Chain A
């Protein structure tokens, strides 16, 4: 008897495609993934598409148009388990910088014919629109974590994607703390683990690509960063990157927005 493999769909909203590429980047595991799960809809990989419903949907990107706000509802209806992948889908992405500005002003600067552009005033996370079953953080997501959550989904177990600080990853890796040891500003203490402490492993401060950790205390960190020489404007900007619209980072950047 042939085993029935669960059906996987991969969806793109406003994004750079990097997180979908992380799935193709799985390389060693990709054939194994294809063996365990039917890749039914994944336009970045193939035009061939199998109709829904789907057992697992991976959603990349944020909602920035009225059309996408409708489309995500349709994706939800077709998906048994919906997982968002990456900072765009979980927090609105870098394009959420528009949330702090006037989007009409942006389109006037960027496009020759801004009147052709139909867009929302904000970029928002998928979870702001539909129920999300699991969020995988990162800009981009980490392939090791992606394989882990797919493996956990297939086994029906909890995925190991701890929401604590990046500091714990640094300490387990044996990294020197770049903030204490070198005086390098670092968002690690307020940032969600998952990257394996990539930047501090190369003596750079954390840029917060994985968004806020479980219980972030950004105001306390900002006070220390200012002692390390970051001025008010720099403190506003440091929280305004890929996860600018994540609650804790948004509040902390707005506190420095005057």
Chain B
């Protein structure tokens, strides 16, 4: 069970939340969280709760995202947007080293590890699950990404239980939400219906407890604790999408020649958007550049995708030349072979790949289509 403020669930007001945000920054953290930019809710630097998308929500469907006004002043009344916390922990572009020639000698200087202390404000359950999945890939094995490790070790997570499910959400199907269960320093549930706009708070770590203790708060009543549980229950039962997930490894791996792969390939643009918005996709490429005089060279790492031809290029050509083979690679890795490789599904049900696919390809629909006429299951026993 999560630790609690003074041994109990506590209630803080909107002003209390502001005090918490100030305390986090006073402790040396760089606070990043949801904020309005260019008609979307993105993650960027925030200084006060006035930077949060107060009173805004969103409407999402395959290939479509629009902001809308809410009838209340909710601070976290939206579903996950175009970006994930991956943009901070596993940066889109990163210089790995610089080499310089001095006459006959060459010096190579590795990029210093970052020492930012990031406080992520408003992390959803599916996003915590996604960070845990990237932890498994990037820092829990023989090869450790020192940049990710440095940022991750110092990061503070202020989580939020989702007050509503978005049009493309299916975290409940992936057992990744909507309730925040672990991996947070502080967890909030926004309560809007009791006549007063307050937050039920829990501390999930020593750091979270230390931050919360001096913030004005009162003990939560049984009614308030029940109201918070009801909010999460209502979210869980109103998911925009659904995907049966208990048998995906067997289902997909026994249907590698299913005709649906050809069908989805007629729609797939191989543009890579799904992989870049996915909070667990971690693939990168490295690029070496040198200057005109040949005196200085740099190696950069940047996000890459299994949807590019270069990604599977080996001597003589790309292994996965067709759109069919690339879509199948992405989906079977995400939902099936990820389990063999890393011990869990690579999908958290956030729905970003559905909303941000320019032509609205829906992973839950693709699974349903394959399940609908499961070639292997229909074979006579």
- Using CB atoms and an 8 Å cutoff, list the residues of chain A in contact with chain B: 29, 32-33, 35-36, 147-148, 150-152, 154-155, 157, 160, 162-165, 167-168, 171-174, 176-177, 179-183, 186, 188-190, 203, 213-217, 219-221, 223-224
Most buried by B among A32, A147, A182, A189: A189
| Interface status of B355 (Cβ within 8 A of chain A) | yes
Do B309 and A214 have beta carbons less than 8 Å apart? yes
Q: List 6 A-B contacts (CB under 8 A).
A: A164-B309, A172-B92, A177-B273, A186-B358, A188-B271, A223-B359
In angstroms, Cα B93 to Cα A101, docked, is 45
**How many pairs of residues, A versus B, come closer than 8 Å at their CB atoms?**
135
Given A168-B308, A174-B92, A181-B38 in contact, is the A151-B273 Cβ separation under 8 Å? no
CB-CB contacts below 8 Å: B247-270 with A: 266-270
Q: Report chain A residues within 8 Å CB of B321.
A: 215
In angstroms, Cα B273 to Cα A189, docked, is 9
Q: Report chain B residues within 8 Å CB of A219.
A: 266
In angstroms, Cα B89 to Cα A170, docked, is 19
In angstroms, Cα B308 to Cα A179, docked, is 21
B 315-335 to A, binary, CB cutoff 8 A, 1 in contact else 0: 000000101000000000000
Distance (whole angstroms) from the CB of B381 to the closest CB of chain A: 38
Do B292 and A165 have beta carbons less than 8 Å apart? no
Q: Report chain B residues within 8 Å CB of A217.
A: 266-270, 323
Report the nearest B residue to A179, measured CB to CB.
Answer: B358
- Tell which of A152, A171, A182, A223 touches B303, judged by Cβ atoms closer than 8 Å: A171
Given A168-B308, A172-B92, A181-B40 in contact, is the A151-B289 Cβ separation under 8 Å? yes
In angstroms, Cα B63 to Cα A35, docked, is 50
| Interface status of B302 (Cβ within 8 A of chain A) | yes
Most buried by B among A152, A154, A172, A215: A215
- Tell which of A157, A183, A190 touches B269, judged by Cβ atoms closer than 8 Å: A190
Q: Report chain B residues within 8 Å CB of A168.
A: 271-272, 276, 303, 305, 308
In angstroms, Cα B358 to Cα A152, docked, is 34
In angstroms, Cα B309 to Cα A164, docked, is 8
Most buried by A among B291, B293, B294, B358: B358
Do A164 and B310 have beta carbons less than 8 Å apart? yes
Given A177-B358, A182-B39, A203-B38 in contact, is the A221-B269 Cβ separation under 8 Å? yes
Report the nearest A residue to B360, measured CB to CB.
Answer: A224
Do B292 and A171 have beta carbons less than 8 Å apart? no
Do A35 and B293 have beta carbons less than 8 Å apart? yes
Q: Report chain B residues within 8 Å CB of A221.
A: 269, 358-359
Distance (whole angstroms) from the CB of B260 to the closest CB of chain A: 16
Given A217-B323, A221-B359 in contact, is the A157-B276 Cβ separation under 8 Å? no
Not counting A155-B294, A164-B309, a sample of 18 additional A-B residue pairs whose C-beta atoms are within 8 angstroms of each other reads A32-B291, A33-B292, A36-B292, A151-B290, A165-B269, A171-B92, A172-B92, A172-B303, A174-B83, A177-B356, A180-B356, A186-B358, A215-B270, A215-B309, A215-B321, A220-B269, A220-B359, A224-B360
